[in-house]
Chains A and B, each alone.
Chain A
Amino acid sequence: MEPNEILFLFIAVATVVSAAIVAFSSKIIHSAFALLASFMGFAALYVYLSAGFLAVTQILIYVGGILILILFGVMMTHGIYDTAKKTAHNALSVSLLGGLAIAAVLLLIITRSPWAPILHKPFQPTTQLIGAAILTNYLLPFEIISVLLLGALIGAVYLARAEDKQK
Chain B
Amino acid sequence: MSNLNSLQYFIPELFLIVAILVIIVVDLFLKKNKKIVSAYLAALTLVVTIFLAYQQYGYSPALLFKGMIVLDSFAIFFKIITALSTLIVIFISLPSFRTKAEYYVLLLIVTLGMFLMVEVNNLLMIIISMEMVGLISYVLVGFNKHDLKSSEASLKFMLYGATSTAVMAFGFSYIYGISGHLNLDVIQQSLIINQPQALPLFVAFMMVLAGLGYKIAMVPFHFWVPDVYEGAPTPITAFLSVGPKAAGLALLIRFLITLVAHPSAGNAANFIQNVSIHAPLLLAALAVATMTLGNLSALMQKNIKRMLGYSAIAHVGYMLMALVVFNNQGIIAVMFYIVVYLFMNFGAFCVVESLTDKLGSEKISAYTGLGYRAPFTAIAMAIFMFSLTGLPPFAGFIGKLYLFAAVINQSWYILALIGLLNSVISLYYYATVVKVMFLNRQENAPPLRVALYNKLLIGALLIPTLVLGLYWSPVINFTSRSIGFLFGK
Contacts and interface: CB of A to CB of B under 8 A. Distances in A.
B34 to A, nearest CB: 16
A99 interface: no
Interface stretch (B194-202, B351-359, B437-445): B194-202
Given A137-B66, A140-B69, A148 B132 contact: yes
B180 A112 contact: no
A76 interface: no
A115 B196 CA distance: 9
A136 B3 CA distance: 7
Query: Chain A at the B interface: mostly helix, strand, loop or mixed?
Result: helix
B197 A138 contact: no
B133 to A, nearest CB: 10
Interface stretch (B135-143, B288-296, B339-347, B406-414): B135-143
A-B interface, 3 closest residue pairs, ranked by CB to CB distance from nearest: A116-B180, A155-B139, A151-B109
A138 B197 CA distance: 30
Interface string A131-167: 0000011111100110110111011101100010000
B116 A144 contact: yes
17 contacts: A109-B174, A112-B197, A113-B177, A113-B196, A113-B200, A114-B196, A115-B178, A136-B3, A136-B66, A145-B128, A147-B112, A148-B109, A148-B113, A152-B136, A158-B102, A158-B143, A159-B139
Nearest to A167: B32
A106 B167 CA distance: 13
A148 to B, nearest CB: 5
Interface in B255-275: none
B68 interface: yes
A144 to B, nearest CB: 6
Contacts of B65: 139-140
Interface residues of A, number: 29
B285 interface: no
B433 interface: no
A108 interface: yes
A113 B106 contact: no
Nearest to B32: A164
A140 B65 CA distance: 6
B125 A141 contact: yes
Contact of A105 (B109, B197, B203): B203
Nearest to B146: A163
A117 interface: yes
A89 B357 CA distance: 39
Interface of A: 105-106, 108-109, 112-117, 136-141, 144-145, 147-148, 150-152, 154-156, 158-159, 163
Contacts of A148: 109, 113, 128, 131-132, 135
B7 to A, nearest CB: 10
Nearest to B174: A109
Interface in B180-229: 180, 196-197, 199-200, 203
Nearest to A105: B203
B105 interface: yes
Contacts of A144: 116, 125, 128-129, 132
Contacts of A159: 139, 142, 145
Given A108-B199, A159-B142, A151 B135 contact: yes
Contacts of A145: 128
Q: Chain B interface: which size bin? A: 35 or more
A114 B68 CA distance: 27
Contacts of B143: 158
A144 B127 CA distance: 12
B31 to A, nearest CB: 14
Contacts of B116: 144
Contacts of B20: 147, 150
A159 to B, nearest CB: 6
A120 B139 CA distance: 45
A140 B125 contact: yes
Contacts of B24: 154
Contacts of B68: 138, 140-141
B135 A152 contact: yes
Contacts of B138: 155
Contacts of A141: 68, 122, 124-125, 128
Contacts of A112: 197, 199
A130 B6 CA distance: 22
Nearest to A152: B135
B23 to A, nearest CB: 11
B17 interface: yes
Contacts of A136: 3, 66
B179 interface: yes
A155 B108 CA distance: 13
Given A112-B199, A115-B177, A116-B179, 12 more contacts: A106-B203, A116-B176, A117-B180, A139-B66, A140-B125, A141-B125, A148-B113, A148-B128, A151-B109, A154-B24, A163-B145, A163-B146
Given A109-B199, A151-B109, A159-B145, A138 B139 contact: no
A54 to B, nearest CB: 14
Given A117-B180, A159-B142, A151 B69 contact: no
A158 B113 CA distance: 20
Contacts of A151: 105-106, 109-110, 132, 135-136
